[in-house]
Structure 1
Amino acid sequence: MTADPSTTTSRVADPATTADLPEARASQENRPPAREGVEPGAWLRVCALDRLQPGRGVAALVGGVQVAVFRTGDEALYAVGNIDPFTGAAVISRGIVGDRGGVPTVASPVHKQAFGLADGRCLDDPAVALAVYQPRSYDGDVWIGLR
């Protein structure tokens, strides 16, 4: 899927349009800091929801950080760091989406390590994890919350 650049550019959300969104919470402390000028707790628009194909990922630059955003077959949204911790390559968004024992996963396209989409943990090496971000669907768009 090739994303339209006009729909993937990160923008600081207008507080008036995101008043109904809950404050973003960090789920992991190893997350890189957001870009200067982007408020913690801000929501950034990634793309229109209908641009995400179920079972596929897209990469987005969110607050200066590469994030892989996924929409699964059951319409759930997940957002994790796009950098493969084993290779340093920005490839997680191109990984293979599936599940292991009922846990939604993405497998790195490089060495195939599987990561839980909900918690970022590597199922093959529990000492390694991807950063996890808080995605929301709001008014037909996908938003990512920053810590």
Structure 2
Amino acid sequence: MRLELDLQQASTAFDLPTEAQFAQWAELALSPYRNEAELTIRLVDSSESQQLNSQFRGKDKPTNVLSFPFQCPPGLSLPLLGDLVICSQVVAEEASQQGKTAESHWAHMVIHGCLHLLGFDHIKEDEAEQMEQLEIALLAKLGFPNPYLTDAE
């Protein structure tokens, strides 16, 4: 697959994955569904994540990943998929709280966001199960454990 990735670094965090890692994770998620894609991944701090989450989802707190799919006008065919906005502080905090490596959680957030851009969702239980199974399988290909297992399982 051909991926054109626009990686925007708007976060003050210093221990972020490389552009090559972001591209690898996005290509893995998108390649079964697309031959080519243009994608923006914007890395932000908590304040920008909170502002966007409040504006677009009505939730006044930062979140790990926001997905903004591109709505192509009728009659046009463009490879533009959309934008992911990922909050570096939330990802780091969640990885620590959940006992995961930062790298595996970053990969999960990119894959999760890309699946949203493709139209997958987790509002209904059957859709959530399908999306989670895809994420588990894709992360396994990278050698990462199931992100939905807790230490108690």
TM-score (norm 2): 0.31
Structure number with the higher helix fraction is 2
Larger Rg: 2
Structure number with the higher strand fraction is 1
Tell which has more relative contact order, 1 or 2 (C-alpha 8 A, sep 6+).
1
